Amino acid sequence: MTQAADHDDDLSIFEKSCAYCGARFRVLASHGPFADHPEGYSCPECGKQYQTEAALEPEVRLLTPRRDGKQDRYQETMF
Ligand SMILES: [Zn+2]
């Protein structure tokens, strides 16, 4: 195997605080040439949906548990 730099899996990593439950999590979004499109990911604690530009479904890692002391799941109230 060569040690050549692999530009095929560029990652953008950012941290996010959930607006609903206050949990902090890290989002790893991979990017490919001409492959980015809106991809959904959800808060690991309450399931609230977010969206970012990525080539694949982003990976989410919990950093800090939720701070609202509840156990409920976020419910979209769009209907
Ligand atoms: Zn949440």
Is residue 22 situated within a structural domain?
yes
Residue 5: inside a domain, yes or no? no
39 Cα: distance to centroid of ligand 1 (angstroms): 17
Cα of 16 from ligand 1 centre, angstroms: 10
pLDDT digits (tens, 9 = 90+) for 42-59: 999 999 999 999 999 999
Domains identified in the chain, total number: 1
Predicted confidence at residue 37, as pLDDT, reads 96
* CA proximity to 16, closest of 6, 7, 26, 8: 26
How far is the centre of ligand 1, averaged over its atoms, from the C-alpha of 37 (Å)? 23
Arithmetic mean of pLDDT, 61-68: 96
pLDDT at 76: 73
Q: 10 and 30 in contact (C-beta within 8 Å)?
A: yes
40 within domain boundaries? yes
Domain residues for the domain of 31 are 10-64
From ligand 1's centre to the CA of 24, what distance in Å? Answer: 8
- Inform me whether the pLDDT recorded for 9 exceeds 80: no
- Residue 34's pLDDT band, with cuts at 50, 70 and 90, is confident
In a domain, 35, yes or no: yes
